[in-house]
Amino acid sequence: MIQPPNDLRRFESILKIVEALRGPDGCPWDKEQTHRTLTPYAIEEAHELAEAIENGDEPEMISELGDLLLQVVLQAEIGRQSGRFDIHDVIEAISTKMVRRHPHVFNDTQVGGSEDVLRNWAEIKKQEKAAAHRSTTGSTASAIERFDVPENLPALSRAHKIGAKTKAHRFDWPDWQGVFAKVNEELAELQAAIATGSAEEKEAELGDLLFSVAQLARHLAIEPEQALRTTNRRFEQRFFTMRRLAETDGHNVDELSEEQLEAYWIKAKAALKGAR
């Protein structure tokens, strides 16, 4: 039997625990994991952390931050066991990056506010990518033309970030009113596609509408993914409250008419609003 570390508050303790889990006498499941098999868990844990933050649940935030940290440590331990890198390489890489990308803190670069910080950050990232590309290709040929935004992000979040990238290149609407007009334009085009278009045209127009809505959210300083998660939760609360109210009145919800369902939906909204 492996003895766990005595002081579980120390960072070194989680390193030792994960090393034991991946060791000869460790956990069969943990020992089977690879960088690729763990990737979905990292994404899932990030979403669960976001939900805890949105709910203002500090104990759950602590738990989910720990789960996310575990994913980092597991990935680093896999790298260490293969002799390619370890957690100290990970820490050094992010520390170096933070110092390099904050010249207004660790050097004498002057900034006037957050916009200057973001502009400098984008320029430094661009220089880093160009240097990395030259080192791997031995030339100054341009890299694949794609925004530096992870493709496995939720689509609304990625659309939001793509818009921020184009804004940095002065390709953007001047204000939210312009984006709102674009949303209405895309809505009209979707309606036309629904009436006469093919399945591919409907999908394309719906995608255009969603992309435009994501840009409207950006101009309103709203994170669209968070807004949609909040709406999803609100809808679920209203839906199941509607069902409970109907069942309390002795109804089989699945047999109610549309008019009856709408009436209970309104009651559910009122009940939830009054419970706040």
pLDDT in tens, 9-40: 999 999 999 999 999 999 999 999 999 999 98
Give me the CATH topology for the region 155-222.
Helix Hairpins (1.10.287)
- Is the confidence at residue 143, as pLDDT, over 90? no
Which tokens is 276 given?
């706040």
Overall average pLDDT of the 218-224 stretch: 94
End-to-end Cα distance, the chain: 51
Q: Does the fold of domain 155-222 match that of domain 11-101?
A: yes
* DSSP H helices in the chain: 11-21, 28-32, 35-55, 58-81, 87-101, 103-106, 114-137, 155-168, 176-196, 199-219, 224-248, 258-275
Residues 160 and 217: beta-carbon distance below 8 Å: yes
Overall average pLDDT of the 166-188 stretch: 94
Q: What is the DSSP secondary-structure string of 30-77? A: HHH--HHHHHHHHHHHHHHHHHHHHHT-HHHHHHHHHHHHHHHHHHHH
| Residue ranges of domains in the chain | 11-101, 155-222, 226-275
SS3 215: helix
Question: What band does 141 get if pLDDT is binned at 50, 70 and 90?
Answer: very low
Burial pattern 18-52, b for ≥16 Cβ within 10 A else e, equals: bebbbeeeeeeebeebeeeebeeebeebeebbeeb
How many residues in the chain? 276
CATH class of the domain comprising 11-101:
mainly alpha
